[in-house]
Amino acid sequence: MKHPSIAVLAGDGIGPEVMAQVLRVLHHVCPQFNTKHGLVGGAAFTTHQCHFPQDTQSLIDDCDAVLFGSVGGPIDSADEPQWKNCEINSILALRNHLKLAINIRPAKFYSALRDISPIKNKRLEGCDEIIILRELLGDIYFGEKQAYTEEGIMIAEDTARYDENQIALVAHQAFKTATRRKQHVVSVDKANVLETSKLWRKTFQQVATGYPAIKLTHMLVDNCAMQLILNPAQFDVIATSNLFGDILSDAASALPGSLGMMPSASFNQQGFGLYEPSGGSAPDITGLDKANPMAQMLSVTMMLRHSFNKTKEADAIEQAIIKTLEKGFRTVDIMQQDKTEVGTIQFTDEVLRQIKL
Ligand code: NAD
């Protein structure tokens, strides 16, 4: 029998140090999995003079899923050749290469960590998890762009474009996800102003007719940003376009208390998945054993569930993380009074100790 192969792209910053720990957990629960390492981002640039080399593309094409770390350098080094356009050349190129059309970001609220949320506890009542589904290959990110000067004035243009098939793909995924959850989808757009949003809304209404048990609510993006903070418990599944999803998913990820706990998964139409933390390369804490490995560990649990149907193993990791939090272990980003501050490595040691298969 052929064992699953995973392309591991640790990338830059905290990526490699977190990935090293998380692979200990993956190999513990699934020792039969093959992990194959490839270079991406600034780490690839130093040897290949590009951010997404051919070797890495071939490696990915040969694997069953991708486990991604993070890429990018310090913000004030963004113009150095190693870091210039690093995210565009690696993450956007990777999404395009694999045709990853849908991104799923769950923002989960752990009872042991209720007090670290920036939102008052009262507002979080009834809020366990918010899933944000974001379209990933369309919108203003991939439309025509230009920058030019006209009569001495600098001008820049980005074009947003969607076709109904791109939108329908997200809509079907949102309704299917809601079927397994609270039967409610909030579709977020700016249909009072944008043509792409009018098409978004119309397509969601059409697809909704195939899912009569699911309630569909439309919400304007500006209101959604406000409602996420005022009343997060009203949301279960949010579905939205690329740009709005980028912003709203970061806002939602702040609610549980730290970006360091937020995993994500991206899929193409064939169901091939790439799994990565929602945060970036965190240059401010790189090499200090301070990064929270939860986001990467939970990305592994998403991979085990979605790509390999390994529910028991995924549950075992998630339960072990919850136990570790209940025992009072915290990385610095989620540290609370009277708890035990640990580094990336010790947090992982504790998780490994708590895993029951
Ligand atoms: P960032 O997400 O790297 O960091 C923002 C803040 O969150 C920092 O204070 C950081 O220490 C903290 N943080 C992030 N992950 C954490 C973790 N696991 N544990 C504890 N704290 C964590 O965003 P930034 O500082 O704006 O960007 C840094 C670099 O990352 C830039 O080069 C940017 O382009 C890149 N970036 C990459 C990705 C990606 O690889 N998918 C996403 C966003 C940003």
pLDDT by residue, tens only, the chain of 357 residues: 689 999 999 999 999 999 999 999 999 999 999 999 999 999 999 999 999 999 999 999 999 999 999 999 999 999 999 999 999 999 989 999 999 999 999 999 999 999 999 999 889 888 999 999 999 999 998 899 999 999 999 999 999 999 999 999 999 999 999 999 999 999 999 999 999 999 999 999 999 999 999 999 999 999 999 999 999 999 999 999 999 999 999 899 889 999 999 999 999 999 999 999 999 999 999 999 999 999 999 999 999 999 999 999 999 999 999 999 999 999 999 999 999 999 999 999 999 999 999
Q: Which of 255, 273, 302 is the last residue of a domain?
A: 255
* H or E, element range at 273: strand 273-277
Q: 290 and 251, same structural domain? A: no
d(CA 50, CA 90): 9
Residue of 40, 46, 14 whose CA lies nearest to 97:
40
Q: Report if residue 112 sits inside a domain.
A: no
Convert 145-175 to b/e letters by CB count within 10 Å (16 or more is b). eeeeeeeeeeeeeeebebeeebbebbbebbb
Amino acid, res. 207: V
Q: 133 and 87, same structural domain? A: no
Q: Residue 135: which domain range? A: 118-255
Q: Report if residue 106 sits inside a domain.
A: no
d(CA 92, CA 88): 5
How many other CB atoms are there within 10 angstroms of residue 269's CB atom? 11
Q: 157 and 51, same structural domain? A: no
For ligand 1, is residue 246 a contact (CB within 6 Å)? no
Q: Which of 255, 278, 299 is the last residue of a domain?
A: 255
Q: Report if residue 111 sits inside a domain.
A: no
Mutating to test ligand 1, I would choose from 66, 285, 296 the residue with most ligand atoms within 8 A of its C-beta, which is 285
Q: 219 and 144, same structural domain? A: yes
Q: Report if residue 37 sits inside a domain.
A: yes
The residue annotated as part of the active site, out of 108, 190, 290, 310, is 190
Q: Report if residue 233 sits inside a domain.
A: yes
Q: Report if residue 141 sits inside a domain.
A: yes
Please check whether residue 66 is in contact with residue 274, taking contact to mean a CB–CB distance below 8 angstroms: yes
Q: Report if residue 109 sits inside a domain.
A: no
Closest ligand 1 atom to Cα of 72: 32
For ligand 1, is residue 334 a contact (CB within 6 Å)? no
Amino acid, res. 39: L
Q: 242 and 127, same structural domain? A: yes
For ligand 1, is residue 282 a contact (CB within 6 Å)? yes
Between CA 268 and CA 275, with CA 269 as vertex, the angle to 5 degrees is 25
Amino acid, res. 164: E
Amino acid, res. 117: S
**How do 153-158 and 184-189 pair as beta strands?**
unpaired
Between CA 273 and CA 179, with CA 298 as vertex, the angle to 5 degrees is 65
Indicate the number of domains in the chain.
Answer: 2
Q: How far is the CA of 205 from the centre of ligand 1 (A)?
A: 36
Q: Running DSSP on this structure, what letter comes out for residue 4?
A: P
* C-alpha distance across the termini of the chain, in Å: 22
For ligand 1, is residue 292 a contact (CB within 6 Å)? yes
Model confidence, pTM: 0.94
Q: Report if residue 269 sits inside a domain.
A: yes
3-class SS of residue 43: helix
Q: 272 and 219, same structural domain? A: no
Q: 298 and 331, same structural domain? A: yes
For ligand 1, is residue 297 a contact (CB within 6 Å)? no
Q: Which of 255, 285, 308 is the last residue of a domain?
A: 255
Which token pair is 11?
């990338």
The residue annotated as part of the active site, out of 110, 141, 211, 275, is 141
Q: What is the CATH number of the domain that holds 248?
A: 3.40.718.10
Q: Whose CA is nearest to atom 30 of ligand 1?
A: 280
